[in-house]
Structure formats: C-alpha cells, structure tokens
Structure 1
Amino acid sequence: MTTARRTQAERSAATIAKLVDATIEAIEQVGYHSTSLGEISTRAGVSKAAIFRHFDSRMDLVVAAADEVRRRHMAAVAELRLPENTTGPVDLVALIQLARTQIRSDINTVWLELLVAARTEPELRTRIAPVLRELYDEVEELGISALAPDLPPEAARLLVTSLIHMFDGEAILRTTYPRPELEEARIEYVAAAYRTLTGPTDPGR
C-alpha cells in the first residue's frame, strides 16, 4: 500500500504547527524568558534555520503561539454557542465552573506568562494586544449570548470579564497559597449575586 506524498504546503503547515506547539509547551513549562529559539528548536525537532523559513523572528513565533492559545480557548467553550444552549435558562454554576477549569488549564499558563512579561516589554505588549483584544471580544460575545435574556449586554460583559479576572488571580496564587475552601465558596457567592441581579429564577439554576 502506498501513501500519497505530502505537498510542500502540507509539509510547511506541519512544520509551523510543530513550532507553534513547541513554543506553547516551552512557555508553559519553562517560562517566557527561557523560551529561546534553541529551546523551541529542540522541542519541535526542527533546526533553527528551518524556524526562519517560516517566521521572521522569535517574536513572530510567540505571537503565533498566543493566537493558537486563543483559538484553543474558544474551541474548548464552543458548545456554549449552540442554539440549544442559548435558548433556555443558563446553568450559571456550570458556566462559572467551565470558566474556572479553562483558566486553570495548562495552556492558560501561556497567557499569564505573556501578560506578565508584556508589562516590561513594549514590543511584546504591542504585538499581543490585538490577540488579547480578539480573545476578550470573543469571550464577551459568548457571555452575552449565554446570559441573554436574563442580563442586558453590558451587565453580562461586566460579569464575564470579572470572572476572568478573578480566576486569573486564583490561577496565579493557588500554586503558592492554595485556599480551596474559599475558591469553592466563590462560585456560590457569584451565582447568588447573579440571581439577585436577575430576580426570581428556576430553582435548578
């Protein structure tokens, strides 16, 4: 049995995917500043020279990795966009738990690393800002859709972004100072605040 030979475009796409995956893995495991071209090259099994056939700089590769993290985040919660999940009452506790789980995932460590590094690196800050804006726009749009018609768009946007900020803080602190009892209580308090905002609701929500 013979297999068709891959085209140049297919080989190029496969190499780019390996490099992006290796960059994500490196930032997650050794941190942004230790993610050198040598580190990426070793993890991807691709020579440094080959990297520059696909990316003009390390920064371009980092930005591509950030965009892939954004894409994976949205793919993980894509089921919330389905019509059957947006026409009935939202299960807020499940939604909050999904947000927390995604923010605590290993891949979100990449975003936390990049955001901290961007504070003191103007080029990184400038380059990843559009990717971050796109991620937040998508998340806010998803939140507005999932919480309608219980909350108006601005209230839904505020709730969703507040949850992200809260769980980002948890994700950073829990490694050094875990407080599981408080972390679990937060979900019920947020759900209770939501019910106060929206008035009487189905007891199962």
Structure 2
Amino acid sequence: MTAVTGRRTQAERSAATRAALVDATIETIAEIGYHNASLGEISRRAGISKGAIFRHFDSRTELVVAAADEVSHRHIEAVQILRRTEATDQPIDLADIMLRVRGQIRDKTNTVWFELLVAARTEPELRERLEPVARALLDAVEELAVAALTPMVSPETAKLLATSLIHMFDGEAIFRSTYPRPELEDSRIERLVAVFPQVRTDSELG
C-alpha cells in the first residue's frame, strides 16, 4: 500500500501559485488601479518572485485577463440563487434581484472590470483578449435572467432587462465615488419595481 504523504503534486502547486497570482492581481488593481498594478507589486502581494510569474502566465496581459475572468466567475456564483428550479407563475421579488445585482457590481473586486474596460479602449491586445471574457460574462448573465424571469416575461425581454440593469448599475458604481446621489439610487429600484408589471411578453406587445 502506498503511504499518503500529504505532499501536493506539481499540478496542485502550479494551480495554487496561479490562484495566488490572480488573487493578488485582483487585489492590486482594485486598490491602486490597472496602470499602477506592476508585476513587481503583484508578485510582492502574492509572495511569489517576479520571474516566477512567467512560468504561469505568458504576459501581464494574460494575467490581468485571468483576473477579470475570475471576477466574472465570482459574480455569477454569487447570484446563482436567482435561478429558478422550475417554471412557475408565482411572482418573483424583483427588488431583491436588483439589489443583489447592484451589490455585486458595487463589490470592490468589480473595480477590476471597470479598470480593464477603460484601458482596453486604447490597448488593442487587451481589448482582443478581454472581449471573449466579457462576452461569456454577459451571456451567463442573460441566461441567468431567462431562468429567473420566465415565464413572467419572454426570454428576449429577460435578456434586455438584464443587460440594461447591468449597464445602469455600472454607471451608478462609477459615478457614486465622485458624485454620489443615494436618494436617487434608493428611489430608482422602487420606481423600476413599480413599472415592472407593465412589461409583457413580446407576443402580447405585438
């Protein structure tokens, strides 16, 4: 019988190092911004030598995109509770859904997305690498919205509502650090919930 030593395999050590680097990248960008997030600072926070980074990531761009991907996975996992296990005509708590989505967008780690989206505007390589990650995130958000909102609304309407809320709350999160308007933010969800019963399926709108 082979004794269990408790020692990690090379693959496990590599995975742990990658995870530490990604976590450090998220922390660094969230705290000091994308352009200040040097590989030296990231390696210091991760407790890993700067040279060792390139044994796990080909470039700084690959590392920051991996960080964006991790942030997106965390957000989707956090709101999976919104998924309905089966179709039902019972009313949903739309205010709760919107508050959960808003909370995730305001989470400190989501700053990574804001930083990278702005940087990608003028960095072609980052833009190209980030596009499939952004697409996968929005696809997942739309799929979750369909699961949560149908049959109350059509799948097409559910997707439109989801992306519209994401864009609205993104704008809120960005502006609130410079020009906070909490009274407007509080009333916004109340008013959206009030008008939601007016939304009908596409066929009813015909």
> Does TM-score exceed 0.5, indicating one fold?
yes
Secondary structure at the aligned position of 2:199 is classed as: helix
Secondary structure at the aligned position of 2:108 is classed as: coil
Identity of aligned residues (%): 65
Counterpart residue type for residue 61 of structure 1: L
Secondary structure at the aligned position of 1:107 is classed as: helix
- Aligned equivalent of 1:11: 13
- Aligned equivalent of 2:135: 133
Partners of 1:150 and 1:83 in 2: how far apart? 15
Q: RMSD of aligned C-alpha atoms? A: 1.5
Partners of 2:166 and 2:25 in 1: how far apart? 24
Secondary structure at the aligned position of 1:123 is classed as: helix
Partners of 2:84 and 2:51 in 1: how far apart? 44
Partners of 1:177 and 1:89 in 2: how far apart? 35
Q: How far 1:89 sits from its partner (Å)? A: 2.3
Q: Where do 5+ consecutive residues of structure 1 fail to align?
A: 200-205
**Which runs of structure 2 are paired with 1:117-196 in the superposition (5 Å)?**
117-196=119-198
Partners of 1:90 and 1:122 in 2: how far apart? 42
Counterpart residue type for residue 6 of structure 1: R
TM-score by length of 1: 0.92
Residue among 83, 107, 114 paired with 2:109: 107
TM-score by length of 2: 0.91
How many residues get paired? 197
1:58 correspondence with 2:60: yes
Partners of 1:151 and 1:101 in 2: how far apart? 24
Secondary structure at the aligned position of 1:83 is classed as: coil
Moved over 4 A (4+): none
Q: Where do 5+ consecutive residues of structure 2 fail to align?
A: 202-206
Partners of 2:73 and 2:174 in 1: how far apart? 22
Partners of 1:14 and 1:28 in 2: how far apart? 21
Partners of 1:160 and 1:56 in 2: how far apart? 35
Q: How far 1:3 sits from its partner (Å)? A: 5.9
- Aligned equivalent of 1:202: none
